[in-house]
Amino acid sequence: MGIKAKRRNLKHGRYSRALVLPANIKKGVESTLAADRLILVDPRAEISEDALLEFLEAVIEPAFWPWLKARQAQEASSYAK
């Protein structure tokens, strides 16, 4: 089962290079990630960055935007009532 968390964005040096992971997930020495609007992180670095980026671009991004627009439309219609 997944977890959910909200974290404050902290500026770290000129560019942020830190990734703070929730304490209650299993972590490795390194993490791999792929990002655009969303961030996909493997906290144990068992999946390569290339594979994560491919999955993000091929599966998550195409499914995410129609889902988000439908959810926003549903919320807007519930406020109109």
Quote the pLDDT of residue 80: 74
Break the chain into its structural domains and give their ranges. 1-81
Q: Over the stretch 25-47, which tens digit does the pLDDT of each residue have?
A: 899 999 999 998 899 999 999 99
pTM score over 0.95? no
Quote the pLDDT of residue 1: 57
Q: How confident is the model at residue 4 (pLDDT cuts 50, 70, 90)?
A: confident
Question: Beta-carbon neighbour count of residue 26 at 10 Å?
Answer: 7
Identify each DSSP E strand in 1-81 by its residue range. 32-35, 39-42
